[in-house]
Amino acid sequence: MFSLIKLPRVVTINQVPKEFHEDSIISGYRYPRSSAMDCILSLFQLTNETLNIWTHFLPTWYFLWKLLSVVLIQTVWQHYFIWPLVVLIVSSCIYPLASTCAHTFNSMSPRARHMCFYIDYGALSFYSMGSAIAYSAYVFPDKWVNNILHRSFIPISLLNSIICTSLACYSRFPECQRPRFTKALRIAAFAYPYLFDSIPLLYRVFLCEGDGCTDNDANVFHKIHILLATLTGFLFATHLPERLAPGSFDYIGHSHQLFHVFGVLGTHFQIMAIECDMKSRRPWLLDHSLPITFDNSLGVTLLSLLVNLTIVLLFCLPLVSTPVDQQKKHNS
């Protein structure tokens, strides 16, 4: 039966439009007018996107299993204290799933490519918001709990999430004409929210001294997460190793594949650290920290999801309406 299935053709960089080009990737491109079925079939052949897809598709199922285990074991709906952890894991399920879909279907057309990655950027921004909610609930060092940063942390993170999605989506407009500016803008769009969210964590792990620094077993996992997140950003920014040997890592080992692997591993250790903090600090946090309510956990999560979806739709609408407008103009 499989011998009757015709796999889609694979082309080189000279056979695809400029907007499909990847830095230092020479071959392994899918045909830029692929059908949806061609895109699905390409999961089972070796292209420069195959491992990008699988390195996020498989972790999606792991995070879904993790979510199910937390919901069932922690009896999540019986106590609001667990809600921020659930928010983090839900966002950790959404961003690799969105990335999987984006890398699977982005070769259908230039318009589909933009729309796929708009959704991908929105999901990453939503994950940043999920991290901020969990950090606010469990990670702030004792001496920072209830200070002005802690009280304003979630509203600022929501604003950062909106800025992140907007800048990342906008960065696709000058991509062909100003690739370096586009890259810098996209890096800034994702680096800034991460760095802001990590302020209490970085202070707690590397700078805090004396009483109130919350030195517990979770710090080991936090340090591993920070290391992996740093490697992830480095790979995304530098396009190593393929930039050193263009064409040698087209199918296996290029930076985006490694970016996915380190990113998912970082999320895994992040969740482990958050769980450890939640369990070990629970009595103290319930007595001293800001109360966890629907508004500052599930409520702001739904608001962030709604706002990010709205931004993505606003960027997608011109792509959907343009062909219709052009047809009307042609008819006139």
CATH code for the domain of 133 = 1.20.1070
C-alpha span between 41 and 30 (Å, rounded): 11
C-alpha span between 100 and 7 (Å, rounded): 19
Q: Per-residue pLDDT tens for 234-252?
A: 999 999 999 999 999 999 9
C-alpha span between 138 and 315 (Å, rounded): 35
Average pLDDT over residues 96-119: 96
Is a pLDDT exceeding 60 seen at residue 3? no
| Domain assignment of residue 117, yes or no | yes
Residue 104, domain extent:
46-318
3-state secondary structure of 30: strand
| Domain assignment of residue 324, yes or no | no
Confidence of residue 268 (pLDDT cuts 50, 70, 90): very high
**Number of neighbouring beta carbons within 10 Å of residue 40:** 13
Average pLDDT over residues 190-198: 95
CA atoms within 13 A on the CB side of 207: 9
Closest CA to 30 of 47, 5, 17, 54: 47
The model carries a pTM of 0.93
What's residue 74's pLDDT? 66
Scored b (16 or more CB within 10 A) or e, 192-226 reads ebbebbbebbebbbeebeeeebbeeebbebbebbb
User: Bigger pLDDT: 328 or 202?
Assistant: 202
C-alpha span between 210 and 296 (Å, rounded): 30
| Domain assignment of residue 27, yes or no | no
Burial (CB count <10 Å: 0-12, 13-18, 19+), residue 131? buried
| Domain assignment of residue 306, yes or no | yes
User: Bigger pLDDT: 76 or 109?
Assistant: 109
| Domain assignment of residue 29, yes or no | no
What's residue 327's pLDDT? 39
What's the chain's average pLDDT?
92
| Domain assignment of residue 297, yes or no | yes
C-alpha span between 54 and 103 (Å, rounded): 10
* Tokens at 6, concatenated: 């015709």
Q: Is the dihedral of CA 155, 156, 159, 161 positive or negative?
A: negative
Burial (CB count <10 Å: 0-12, 13-18, 19+), residue 136? buried
3-state secondary structure of 33: coil
Q: Please say whether the beta carbons of 158 and 300 come within 8 A.
A: yes
Q: Which of 131-140, 188-197, 208-217 has the lowest mean pLDDT?
A: 208-217
Q: Please say whether the beta carbons of 202 and 243 come within 8 A.
A: no
Measure the N-to-C terminal CA separation of the chain; round to a whole number of Å. Answer: 50
Average pLDDT over residues 299-326: 86
| Domain assignment of residue 122, yes or no | yes
Q: How many domains does the chain have?
A: 1
What's residue 233's pLDDT? 95
What's residue 4's pLDDT? 53
| Domain assignment of residue 2, yes or no | no
Token pair 């949806």 in the structure block, residue = 36
What's residue 16's pLDDT? 94
What's residue 177's pLDDT? 83
Is a pLDDT exceeding 70 seen at residue 72? yes
| Cβ contacts of 263 within 8 Å, gap of 6 or more | 228, 229, 232
What's residue 175's pLDDT? 81
What's residue 76's pLDDT? 56
Is a pLDDT exceeding 50 seen at residue 29? yes
Is a pLDDT exceeding 50 seen at residue 330? no
